[in-house]
Amino acid sequence: MDTAERIGAFRRAMRDAGVDVAIVPTADSHASEYIADHFKAREWLCGFTGSAGTLVVSQTEAALFTDGRYFIQAERQIAGSGAKLMRMGVPGVPAMEEYAAGLLSHGQALGVDFSLVSAKTAQALSHRAKERVARLCDTGDLIGRVWRDRPALPQEKAYVLEEKYAGESCAHKLERIRGEMRKAGANLHLVNVLDDIAWTLNVRGGDVLFTPVVMSYLLVGPNGADWFVDEGKAGEDVRRALAAAGVRVRGYGEIEAALRVLGEGDRVLLDRSRVTARLCACLDRAQIVEGSNPAMRMKAIKNETELACLRRAHVKDGVAVTRLMYELKRDAGRKRMTEISVSDRLTALRAEQEGFISPSFRTICAYRENAAMMHYSATPQSDAAIEPRDLLLIDSGGQYYEGTTDVTRTFAMGEVTPEQKRHFTAVLRAMLDLAGARFLYGCTGINLDILARGPIWEMGIDYRCGTGHGVGFLLSVHEGPNGFRWRRSDTRSEDTVLEPGMVTTDEPGVYIEGSHGIRTENELVCREIEENEYGRFLGFEIITCVPVDLDAVLPEELTARERAQLNAYHAFVRKTLTPLMETDDERAWLAHATREI
């Protein structure tokens, strides 16, 4: 079936189930950003492959809601499906909930799978439906009735992350979490977020592509904890390590029954914005204590062991990306290169590094106008040949036992236009200005975002995304709650105070549809600088170790401070990577690539 036929089959399933309007989110049962293939119902129905988006289907309409990162990509991919694109955040475009409710008539049913949406989302949808004198219903796995060749649930084995990498034992993490439970007046804590669980238990797995987590649930009690997981995933080494920390392994499917037996004396700490409506419905006899998962904030503040490991991971990553940069510069116009072949080469270079596990997300290798799509992913149909001219953007990362990396560089493959150089230099200034911030404790990402966005706004343009996001430790490449954005949203935590030890990306950009895209990204560690009578002053340490392409820079447009910052950064890169380059040619090229300007 093509996408139009799939949506048609889904409509028939809706009619059979008595559902008039259905919402198909991009979601699994664990509030994950990146999901296993089994859960990609929205992609299967309409063809859009982006990581964020919601499909709304009625008997007469279908609409895909997604954000500015994906406007160009989504419009192309849903063509022919019969769905229209709803550009979130654009004036005049309604919110998804408003649009879905507007399709309802008196007495009709708005349906969504309660195992895929949070209790908070279900409550908001129910309110919207009631305004239309309609109702919200749990469809269950409605997509399963029509998706015949659906991928199975993943069955990858879990493994223990040693304390020499984690820097803290599972037992100690659980005690810290219990301390937060006591403060909240709770005797139990329910967690369904996979990276929170993996961090807490010091386990990793392979259930989500590029994100080494294990599909599971965790129920923390005052003296022990239960880990609900497909028992075939937990080998004896994992069970022994967890048993030592008082953690019992139980079946993945046992979670609902375990929650239903809880009574009035049980007070369960959970985050309604993350825990599914299905699980919350199982707690009808217990008392719910609302609050964020303590692990979310704890894991965002990396300990000194994690930070030392991350610095080593970024050196390894820097070797791979820098060697690719050398090859691009050497071979442009001499050898045939395409977006896919360059992406594959970068993965191969990373795989040469000790401790490499996998990419941390699907590499974005985008040439010329393809780079204007922020989350472009090359396909055999779109795979552009790279010529000795214009700009090539590569956003990529790696998962190593020493941590997770995320780096973007934009390369001049030959002659570039004056406008492209002006935009490249503005993006470089933006990245440097944020990285060089010195600020008082209490500042948030919203306070600092203007430092990066200022040079872009000066040109009268903007980038329709945040400036940066938190990064996990051998976990999700996108990790909350820290980040850099200029305005608040209902789904993020832009007002999170930046703490020493937090790792956040610094990645401003310029995206000109039909022409080019530019992004320069480093990872920053928040560090304490000094404390005096005015308070605690914090700043950032750059841990990414890859040259910025000076061939696209207009030095005269950098301030003296920005030039000094760039020269100091390149001196760090040169000193760190020169001993690790394999040939005299690579070392000579690196010296030139990191020259002072």
Position 59 in a domain: yes
Count of domains forming the chain: 3
For residue 579, the enclosing domain spans: 301-593
Position 150 in a domain: no
pTM across the whole model: 0.94
Position 154 in a domain: no
Cα–Cα distance measured from residue 369 to residue 592, given in angstroms and rounded to the nearest whole number? 29
User: What is the pLDDT, as a whole number, of residue 68?
Assistant: 86
Cα–Cα distance measured from residue 41 to residue 147, given in angstroms and rounded to the nearest whole number? 8
Same domain, 359 and 487: yes
Tokens describing residue 472: 């996990």
* Residue 521 neighbours by CB under 8 Å, 6+ apart: 395, 406, 407, 408, 409, 431, 505, 506, 507, 544
Position 283 in a domain: yes
Cα–Cα distance measured from residue 379 to residue 374, given in angstroms and rounded to the nearest whole number? 15
Same domain, 388 and 504: yes
Helix intervals (H) in 261-364 = 277-281, 294-300, 304-331, 339-351
Same domain, 246 and 305: no
Position 151 in a domain: no
User: What is the pLDDT, as a whole number, of residue 177?
Assistant: 98
Same domain, 127 and 164: no
User: What is the pLDDT, as a whole number, of residue 492?
Assistant: 55
* CATH code of the domain in which 67 resides: 3.40.350.10
User: What is the pLDDT, as a whole number, of residue 539?
Assistant: 98
Tokens describing residue 395: 């956003």
Q: Which residue, 114, 145, 176, sits at the end of a domain?
A: 145
User: What is the pLDDT, as a whole number, of residue 454?
Assistant: 97
- Asked if residues 279 and 192 have their Cβ atoms less than 8 Å apart, the reply is yes
Same domain, 164 and 99: no
User: What is the pLDDT, as a whole number, of residue 489?
Assistant: 67
Same domain, 407 and 489: yes
Position 119 in a domain: yes
Residue 190 sits at φ, ψ, to 5 deg, of: -100, 130
Position 153 in a domain: no
Same domain, 180 and 260: yes
Please identify every stretch of the chain with a pLDDT value under 70, giving residue numbers as ranges.
Answer: 489-494
Cα–Cα distance measured from residue 102 to residue 144, given in angstroms and rounded to the nearest whole number? 26
5: closest CA among 82, 58, 62, 75? 82
Cis omega before residue 481 (within 30°)?
yes
* CATH code of the domain in which 570 resides: 3.90.230.10
Q: Which residue, 276, 299, 322, sits at the end of a domain?
A: 299
Q: Which residue, 238, 266, 299, sits at the end of a domain?
A: 299
Same domain, 287 and 339: no
User: What is the pLDDT, as a whole number, of residue 174?
Assistant: 98
Position 106 in a domain: yes
R_g of the chain, CA atoms, integer Å = 25
User: What is the pLDDT, as a whole number, of residue 487?
Assistant: 83
Cα–Cα distance measured from residue 392 to residue 410, given in angstroms and rounded to the nearest whole number? 6
Same domain, 290 and 307: no
Same domain, 460 and 545: yes
Same domain, 138 and 173: no
Same domain, 364 and 484: yes
